[in-house]
Structure formats: structure tokens, C-alpha cells
Amino acid sequence: MLLLFTGFDPIGRRDRILAVPRADAARCLAEYRTASTFFQLPKSMTTIYHNPRCSKSRAAVELLESRQIEHTVVKYLETPPTEKELKEIVAMLGIEPQQLVRRGEALFKELGLGEKQLSHDEWLAVLAANPKLIERPIVVHGGRAAIGRPIDNVAALLDG
């Protein structure tokens, strides 16, 4: 996720900053011609990689909201994380990429992934190309991350 600095809002009272996925950065820069710079979200920000159809993912969003934690929602099926972002996420989780895979998905079987021996980078490429295979929800908070299964993992991350 990047922040796009657009200068003053139409009223001119303050700077306007938009959070945009990396994949949309070029389009947003063209749309907001006054934009001067992009910069990374600080590690203290909270991001949830969210699938609105998933009850655990909705529960994680509700937990963030109940604790009044400002957060960015990334609907990762619409805006998949890049291989680089996934590499950062698995590092924060302290796991290997294949541990982030939803093995029960039909797509996992269709791609024959159960029989393949893939490297770290190959798994990252598979996940970036097939976001449906990414375990959910993932919450990134304070430079650390947790998979919200069970939701207590997210609570522990926030308390942490």
C-alpha cells in the first residue's frame, strides 16, 4: 500500500492524502495531476488483507473497529499483493509461503500444487498470481502480522 500526496484539498484547508494499492499507483498519479510524491505506509499503520465473503475476515474487521484502530482494508482478491509484498508478509508472519496457502481450495487441486515441490520464490509467484489461495484474513500491525484463524491471533497481535 502506498500513500499518494495530492496537495491541498479543494477547500484548501489541509493536505489530502489517499491510500492506494501499488497496482493502482500509476492510474492514481495520472488522475490526481497535482500529486507530488508516493511514499510507503509506515510500519505502525494497520492493514487487513480482507475477503468480505469470509466470516473470519469480517470478524477481524469488526475487532479492529471495536478497538477503534485505524486501518486500511485491502480486498486482496480485487487488488492482489505483489510477490514483494507477500515476501514481506510471510517474513512478518515468520512462516514459509506454502504455509500461507489455502490447500482446501479447488484451485489448489486444479493447479496440482499438492504434488509439486516449489521453492520459496515459486510459492510467492503462485500466491501473487492466484490470490484466492492466500489464507485470510491477514492483519499487519506495528511491523508484525497475524493470520486471523482463529481471531485470537489478531487480538494477540493488537495487544502485543
Concatenated DSSP letters for 39-64? EEPPTTSEEEEE-TT-HHHHHHHHHH
Residue with cell 491471533: 153
Instruction: Identify whether residues 74 and 91 lie together within a single domain.
Output: yes
Instruction: Identify whether residues 63 and 135 lie together within a single domain.
Output: yes
pLDDT at 19: 52
Instruction: Identify whether residues 60 and 24 lie together within a single domain.
Output: no
Instruction: Identify whether residues 36 and 50 lie together within a single domain.
Output: no
Q: Which domain holds residue 81?
A: 46-159
- Give the separation between CA 141 and CA 157, rounded to whole angstroms: 7
**Looking at the 3D structure of the chain, how many domains does it have?**
2
The x, y and z cell numbers of residue 1, run together, are 500500500
Instruction: Identify whether residues 79 and 154 lie together within a single domain.
Output: yes
Instruction: Identify whether residues 76 and 146 lie together within a single domain.
Output: yes
In order, the DSSP letters of 80-148 are PPPHHHHHHHHHHHTS-GGGGB-TTSHHHHHTTTTT----HHHHHHHHHH-GGGB-S-EEEETTEEEE-
Instruction: Identify whether residues 34 and 66 lie together within a single domain.
Output: no
Instruction: Identify whether residues 112 and 154 lie together within a single domain.
Output: yes
Instruction: Identify whether residues 12 and 63 lie together within a single domain.
Output: no
pLDDT tens string 72-121: 999 999 999 999 999 999 999 999 999 999 999 999 999 999 999 999 99
Instruction: Identify whether residues 66 and 99 lie together within a single domain.
Output: yes
pLDDT tens string 10-66: 444 444 444 555 555 566 555 554 444 444 444 458 999 999 999 999 999 999 999
What pTM, to 2 d.p., does this model score? 0.72
Instruction: Identify whether residues 145 and 73 lie together within a single domain.
Output: yes
Residues marked as catalytic: 54
Instruction: Identify whether residues 23 and 52 lie together within a single domain.
Output: no
pLDDT at 22: 56
